[in-house]
Amino acid sequence: MELNHYINGNWYTSVNGQERNITNPANGKIIAHTVDGTTDDVKTAIRVARSAFDQGDWAELCSTERSKLLIEVAIRIEKHLDTIAELEMLDNGKPLHEAKIDVQDAADCFRYYASIIRTATGQTYNTAPALETVVVREPVGVCGLIVPWNFPLLMSVWKIAAALAAGNTIVLKPSEITPITAVKLFEIFDDIGLPDGVVNLVMGDGKIVGNELAVSHDIDMISFTGGTDTGRHIMKAATGNLKKVSLELGGKSPNIIFADTDIDMAVDYALYGIYYGAGQICSAASRILVEDSIYGAFVERFVIRANNITVGAGDNPNTEMGPLVSEEHMQKVLAYIQTGKEEGARIACGGNRLTNMELENGYFVEPTAFIDVKQHMRIVQEEIFGPVVTIQKFTNESEAIEFANNTKYGLAGSVFTKDYNKAWRVIKKIKAGITWINTYHENYYEAPWGGYKESGIGRSLSESGLDEFSELKQININLQPDMIDWFRE
Ligand code: NAD
């Protein structure tokens, strides 16, 4: 499979002719080659996106027409759901059933923004006698979208659907590790015939392609999802023209389990919270905090269930947890496991790479849990982004809250208890943008997604996602124009 840039309605190879191999993380085999973008490639894409925006074919199209085209994208994603899901599985490693959910969610995201753009409202105020103030929504302009590898299609779509609904033109940079489904999405854009230059795709390295988007003075907004350190770099790089910056970053989310909860249910959700997606989820419940009176029982049942998880390739229907996305990422996760041991934490389950039989060339790591952890440890403070969880003991409500908030992150968090007064009290104290009571990972487009503290700036999804990609303009209309006589004639 050969994957090319999509610029101004055409497919292009890179100006320097360089290529990059894309591998299947389940077996290390090469499955595709992509062109590797240069700064010149990005500059071309930005230039055409700028000119498409300025021509206004998209921005000035009425929302009803924009909505129809977004629905058409959703229909075509659904039509090709099986193929796209299979490609996502091969590229990212996730089990096929998870990939199918992602692709359906991607279609739903286009439908959601197609629907809210038709009901998005402005405001009017009768601010003074014979004066009306009207507030209208306008697109920001040319948006640079940079996404990670954990939900390659879905993270792209969260941004693209909202940006296009709001009337912007875009340049997307997918992760250099997982670009395949972005290309499939752009094939759909090509088929339905969006005006040339409205959607552009440039593949390649973050430090080259991503950085150029961040520094370019012709980009009006950068919307980034990825690691906190990269986000920090992008924010600095974006200061040249003070472009709008939206950041969806990392997490180290606490899952607080009180003694009055049903232990088996809490274990069930705790496993789902951390091992879904092999822990490569920004909102993963990577820190389990358990009230001391049930700590032993919880750990015992958690370990039995974690050891039962079937790890394997995404195309095996029995697989419950797939590989890590790349050899480099697997080595990073294994290094964290080593760090945890050196810090004095104890492994309750897992801890190793899996290399048995058909897994030997893939990047598989066992579902891993550390106990005897202390708050200051790196494995408690830093995002590992793999199937590694810490299980920590707390003695009372205030200590649970203190532990929960004591990292630089603030993306997500949850509380498990039968006492809804306590649940509400605790959840209100958790410094995080996405929280759950007696559940985990539930996510609907109606609600805003984003983090406190170093987990991000701004919100995706919901109407807030549309606001992110919009400028608000006030228009003051004098209904009885007359001399103002501020200065004497
Ligand atoms: P990453 O930060 O390494 O890369 C993300 C994207 O940024 C990639 O496309 C990469 O090429 C690009 N990039 C890298 N360096 C760049 C630079 N200097 N300038 C511009 N772009 C650059 O992250 P990753 O490893 O791909 O993804 C994992 C991270 O993403 C985790 O920290 C995870 O928590 C985070 N994430 C957050 C959310 C959220 O909604 N908050 C969702 C998914 C993933």
Protein residue whose Cα sits closest to atom 15 of ligand 1: 206
Average pLDDT, integer, range 445-457: 98
Cα R_g (the chain), whole angstroms: 24
* Ligand 1 touching residue 152 (CB < 6 A): no
* Ligand 1 touching residue 36 (CB < 6 A): no
Q: d(Cα 387, Cα 295) in Å, to the nearest integer?
A: 20
Domain range annotation of the chain: 2-249+455-475, 254-437
pLDDT confidence of residue 16? 80
pLDDT band at 127 (very low <50, low <70, confident <90, very high): confident
Amino acid at 83: T
Q: Is it the case that residue 121 has pLDDT exceeding 90?
A: no
Class of domain 2-249+455-475: alpha beta
Q: Which sequence positions are flagged as catalytic?
A: 248, 282
pLDDT confidence of residue 479? 94
* Ligand 1 touching residue 9 (CB < 6 A): no
Protein residue whose Cα sits closest to atom 18 of ligand 1: 207
pLDDT confidence of residue 489? 83
149 CA: nearest ligand 1 atom: 26
pLDDT confidence of residue 17? 75
Average pLDDT, integer, range 374-382: 98
Q: d(Cα 210, Cα 39) in Å, to the nearest integer?
A: 9
* Ligand 1 touching residue 155 (CB < 6 A): yes
Phi and psi, residue 94, nearest 5°: -65, 150
Q: Calculate how far, in angstroms, residue 60's C-alpha sits from the geometric centre of ligand 1.
A: 32
Q: Is it the case that residue 18 has pLDDT exceeding 90?
A: no
* Ligand 1 touching residue 411 (CB < 6 A): yes
Residue 345's contacts (CB-CB under 8 Å, 6 or more residues apart) are: 370, 371, 372, 373, 374, 377, 379, 390
* Ligand 1 touching residue 150 (CB < 6 A): yes
Cβ(285)–Cβ(273) below 8 Å: yes
456 CA: nearest ligand 1 atom: 41
455 CA: nearest ligand 1 atom: 41
Q: Calculate how far, in angstroms, residue 8's C-alpha sits from the geometric centre of ligand 1.
A: 26
Question: How is domain 254-437 classified at the CATH fold level?
Answer: Aldehyde Dehydrogenase; Chain A, domain 2 (3.40.309)
Average pLDDT, integer, range 391-404: 98
Give the model confidence (pLDDT) of 325-359 as tens digits: 999 999 999 999 999 999 999 999 999 999 988 89
The closest alpha carbon to 115, from 64, 189, 188, 167, belongs to 64
Q: d(Cα 299, Cα 285) in Å, to the nearest integer?
A: 15
Protein residue whose Cα sits closest to atom 9 of ligand 1: 175
